[in-house]
Amino acid sequence: MKRNTWLLLTLTLASTAGFATDRSIPLSPVLQSSWEFVTPGTGARLRPHMGVGFWQRASGAKPGVGANYVSAIEYQLPEAAPARVRSASFQFSGRPSQCVGSEPVVIEVFAYAGNGKAEVGDTQAGSHVARFSANCTDNPAFARPIDVTAIVRQLSVPSGIRHVGFNIRKGNNRQGPGLFDLTAGKLTVVLADHPVGEAPMARAPGAPPAATATGNATTGPGSRPKVATAAPPPAAPARMPPAYAAKTAAIQRAATPRQATP
């Protein structure tokens, strides 16, 4: 039993030794910005704390007077060919700051090509990647990772600096205050050691690679393409002339001892 266990372990290690492994890279943000859009009005200004949703002005202000908050987060991508990006996920957290009422706040996430700089245009850029609802008491929606593999793969380059950004906005016309404080999380990128979609090559440790016949390999100018051919069947034994066969049979009979008869 012990011998079988060691044999199984050895075979498992040998079978996986030749396969490439994925590498998970957690990335911290290089930029965090939050923009306040005064309402009613058209002004925008950069704020020190990240948030999303509507902030209601106090001091006797009418309902609907305050500011909408939009946040943007950017990450520098690792240098890798797009085909090596197996997956990418983005996650952030939030908690109520000024939130009243039972109607949930719809939060939308958009992804865009960033540049590592805080710009007001980042708040309206990108393509939609996620939507969820958050309420004023419990917010399990913030714990959900967002699949952003497509945009990360699109922006990745083998060499050079590239950024991917995500802006977080309020997506519904909810009445009343519904502001959430945000904390930037990680962007986790999983890279494969081989292009995704191609099987990794594997062979026993120390074994030379197998030779492969190809249809376009040539040995020199004007030579014909090499093609794989089946091995020829074994040659049949040559037949002896009748006279030589009879003489050989007579010699064999003479060399065979006779058995005594009772």
* 186-195 tens-digit pLDDT: 999 999 988 9
What gap in Å lies between CA 62 and CA 56, rounded to an integer? 9
Mean pLDDT rounded to a whole number for the chain: 78
List pLDDT tens digits, range 8-59: 545 444 444 444 589 999 999 999 999 999 888 888 899 989 999 999 887 7
Q: What ranges do the domains of the chain cover?
A: 31-72+91-148+160-184
- For position 262, what pLDDT does the model report? 46
Q: Which residues of 127-152 are buried (b: 16+ CB within 10 A; e: fewer)?
A: eebbebebbbeebebbeeebebeebb
- For position 240, what pLDDT does the model report? 55
- For position 188, what pLDDT does the model report? 97
Is the pTM for the entire model greater than 0.75? no
- For position 82, what pLDDT does the model report? 96
Q: What is the mean pLDDT of each run of 10 residues along the chain (262 residues)?
A: 52 47 95 92 88 86 85 97 96 91 92 95 95 85 91 96 96 87 95 78 47 41 42 53 56 55 46
3-state secondary structure of 254: helix
- For position 249, what pLDDT does the model report? 62
- For position 126, what pLDDT does the model report? 96
- For position 233, what pLDDT does the model report? 53
- Expressed in percent and rounded to 5, the helix, strand and coil fractions of the chain are 20, 35, 50
Give which of 111, 114, 117 is closest to 77, Cα–Cα.
Answer: 114
